[in-house]
Each structure stands twice: as structure tokens, then as C-alpha cells.
Amino acid sequence: MFPLKDNIPSRRFPCITVFLIIVNVVVFFHEISLGPHLGKFLFIYGVVPKRFFLLSTLGIHSFELKYLPLLTSMFLHGGWLHLIGNMWYLWIFGDNVEDSMGRFRFLLFYLLCGIGATLVHIYTNPYSPLPCIGASGAISGVMGAYYVLFPYARIITLVPIFFFITFIEIPAIFFLLFWFMIQFFNGAFSIAAPHAFYAGVAWWAHIGGFVCGIILVFLFRKRNRRPWYIDEYKPW
């Protein structure tokens, strides 16, 4: 299933969502320009779980080596499909969550979800020598917030059935639960069979980000105001 759009319009232009997309794209073009030096760049600014624990074991707490990658890694991507997929999901789900939190709160929420997602990946893959990169952990947090705030929204979804393609409106609560279960089962399999084909994906970062989003949304959403979408978007 591939989401195309939701049915809830934004009340105002999603400045932070667009800003985050632009930053990710600009950083990706910088990655492309590095040529043969890209691997070293990703190793430095991506989060390498094995290095993270090794530094802890050695008593090294360098900000640049240990903590800065928790932030920088969420703006790096491994290829065009990785970038486009993440930015598409951010565009679909980010604008309404930004509406519900306000711009500054949304930016802080996004960064905290990304850091939380990365920490979950580190502690579930402590011996991995591979750099963990990508915005998917932070975006998973945005999806977790959307799950809480807009469970009755409709997600217009492209669904391939054998050789045919159809478009279906799926309630957000079902779409996001289905997405989460895919992440969870793949994450469980990646631990049970660490050398399988799905082990290179940071499944637990997705899971951790989604759960962080569900928890943090109650701290970051605006209070003392009836949500504007309640009257227009009733349960199915």
C-alpha cells in the first residue's frame, strides 16, 4: 500500500514541514557531491551502534563523535528512493500534525522523535557496524501523532492487486496500525534472523519513533481548544 494524500486540509501553510523537506533535499545533494568520500561522511555523521557502545565502554563522551550523530543522522539518506519515500510520508502526515502543535512545537517534537527512534535502534542493534541514517524514525513519530490526532481521517491509498492498481480510502487508524504491524513483525524477524534480507532496515527505529510520537503528542499538542477537524471529519 502506498499513501497518496489524506482528506484533511491544512489551515495554514506548513512552514516547518516544508523547511524539513528542503533541508533533507539540500543535505542529500551535498552527499551526492562527496563522491568517494561519501562513505566516510556517513560513518561520521550517521549513528553506528557498535561505535556508540564502544565509546561508552572506553569512557569517551565526545559530543561530536557520540551525540551529534543522533541529530545529524536523521537528515541523511542512502539514495533517491530512500529520500523520496521519507519526504512523501512527511508531506502527507506532517502538515496536519504541525497544525495541531504549532510550528516551534512541531519542530521540537520532530527532532525528539528522531532522537528517540535512533536510541531504540541503537539498543536493539548494539553490535551493528552499519551507519543508521534517514528521517524515517522522526517521520514515524509524526505518524504516531497523526494516529492519535486524526484516527478518523481517510488516507487515499494506492493498492496493487495482482496486475491491477486500485485506489482505496482507508481510515487512518487502520492504515497506520497496518503499517506499524509490518514494522513490528519485520523488527522481530530482524532480531531472530539478523543476517536475513530485512536486517539492513532500521525497523526498530520506525517502531520507536511511532511509539515516541504517540507519547509525546500529548505534551506537544495545543490544549484548551476544541480541535477544528472534529465537526467536519466524523467517524465512518
User: Which helix (H) or strand (E) covers residue 171, if one does?
Assistant: strand 164-171
Q: Please, what are the domains in the chain?
A: 2-220 (1.20.1540.10)
pLDDT, position 163: 76
Give 212's contacts (C-beta < 8 A, 6+ positions apart): 112, 113, 116, 117, 141, 144
CB 176 within 8 A of CB 146: yes
Q: Please list the alpha-helical segments (H only) found in the chain.
A: 15-33, 38-45, 49-57, 68-72, 80-101, 103-124, 136-149, 172-192, 203-220
pLDDT band at 228 (very low <50, low <70, confident <90, very high): very low
What is the rounded average pLDDT for all residues in the chain? 87
pLDDT, position 94: 96
* Spatial distance between the Cα atoms of 10 and 153, rounded to a whole number of angstroms: 13
* Spatial distance between the Cα atoms of 154 and 129, rounded to a whole number of angstroms: 40
pLDDT band at 219 (very low <50, low <70, confident <90, very high): very high
pLDDT tens per residue across span 129-148: 888 999 999 999 999 999 99
% the chain with pLDDT above 90? 65
pLDDT tens per residue across span 170-199: 999 999 999 999 999 988 887 766 665 555
Span 214-219, average pLDDT: 95
The three cell numbers locating residue 154: 481517510
pLDDT band at 50 (very low <50, low <70, confident <90, very high): confident
pTM, two decimal places: 0.89
CB 183 within 8 A of CB 203: yes
pLDDT band at 230 (very low <50, low <70, confident <90, very high): very low
pLDDT at 149 over 80: yes
Q: How many CA atoms lie within 13 A of 147 on its CB side?
A: 22
CB 118 within 8 A of CB 233: no
Give 133's contacts (C-beta < 8 A, 6+ positions apart): 42, 46, 47, 73, 74, 76, 77, 78
pLDDT at 105 over 80: yes
pLDDT, position 137: 95
Q: Which of 32-36, 137-141, 194-198, 201-205 has the lowest mean pLDDT?
A: 194-198
* Spatial distance between the Cα atoms of 218 and 97, rounded to a whole number of angstroms: 12
The three cell numbers locating residue 124: 536493539
pLDDT tens per residue across span 68-85: 999 999 999 999 999 999
pLDDT band at 208 (very low <50, low <70, confident <90, very high): very high
pLDDT at 42 over 60: yes
